[in-house]
Amino acid sequence: MRIGTGFDVDQTAGERRVVRIDGEPTRSQAALGEWLAVVWLTPPMDRLFVEGASGRRRFLDRLVLALDPAHAARVAAYEQALRERSHLLREGVADVAWLAALEEVMAAQGIAVAAGRRETVNQLDRVCAEAEGPFPRARLQLVGNVEEWLDAMPALAAEAEFAAALAANRQSDAQAGGVLLGPHRSDLRVSLAQKGIAAELASTGEQKALLISILLAHARLQRTLRGEPPLLLLDEIAAHLDASRRAALFEALVALDTQVWLTGTDEALFAPLQRDAQFLSVRDGNVAATFS
């Protein structure tokens, strides 16, 4: 299968990203998720556990999307209805039928989003608990109002609860300038199983190792559920690992038998991969093979 993406420059519409699969244009970029999953780690994500919950939700949504390509459409539908409802409330539009219709969409899509995240977190927590090796075992939990409803009642009942709460909170949401409850307020909590401490209280090195542990567990989970692991993009992944953890990481990546892109500025860190990887260097805007 041939997959391509790039930009189509239209003199009237401007620059537009396009995606083609076997030469045919797709309806959206989300269609790529039906054919392959991509998961990545970059240096800014090293602060994932100490910064705001929004970054953790985005990270979790990428993990869910890799397992369930329909997740992106549900998130997009929920966020669009949320924005439209917030706009009506800010403008003081008292159209009860219009607000109720948007709240119905938010309830249905929001519960579906929360359920997908919750299922992925539960599965990842199980896989992480079974993991062995030098990387710390992570414990994962998804917390929020919607998740509490899903713990206590069936999904349809949770939808009705969410819709009723949205209708009851119109005035307070209007005053706050946003929606006070929903899956856009949920948070992913991670802790170190061995020490029993929250990830944000761990050292910088332990937090990096936790991220890697979650990523490897997710790759193994995807292989089980979808038959193949994701394509991995790991930027400066080896820079802050000691020699033993670097070796363990490289061994785990080779064992996954998937395509992995590792980037870094110190070629020597990747020397153990000389027999298993293709090496490329970028100098003066040119890409060239070095050794393999």
Domains (ranges, CATH) in the chain?
1-26 (no CATH), 36-289 (1.20.1050.90)
* HEC per residue, the chain: CCEEEEEEEECCCEEEEEEEECCEECCCHHHHHHCCCEEEECHHHHHCCCCCHHHHHHHHHHHHHHHCCCHHHHHHHHHHHHHHHHHHHHHCCCCHHHHHHHHHHHHHHHHHHHHHHHHHHHHHHHHHHHCCCCCCCEEEEEECHHHHHHHHCCHHHHHHHHHHHHHHCHHHHHHHCCCCCCHHHCEEEEEECCCCEEHHHCCHHHHHHHHHHHHHHHHHHHHHHHCCCCEEEEECCCCCCCHHHHHHHHHHHHHHCCCEEEECCCHHHHHHHCCCCCCEEEECCEEEECCC
Instruction: Tell me what pLDDT residue 173 has.
Output: 95
User: Residue 109 — very low, low, confident or very high, per pLDDT cuts 50/70/90?
Assistant: very high
Instruction: Please determine, for residue 8, whether its predicted confidence score (pLDDT) is greater than 90.
Output: no
Instruction: Please determine, for residue 201, whether its predicted confidence score (pLDDT) is greater than 90.
Output: yes
Instruction: Tell me what pLDDT residue 13 has.
Output: 66
User: Residue 11 — very low, low, confident or very high, per pLDDT cuts 50/70/90?
Assistant: low
Instruction: Work out the mean pLDDT of the chain and round it to a whole number.
Output: 92
> What's the whole-number mean pLDDT along residues 166-173?
96
Give the global pTM: 0.89
> What's the whole-number mean pLDDT along residues 206-235?
93
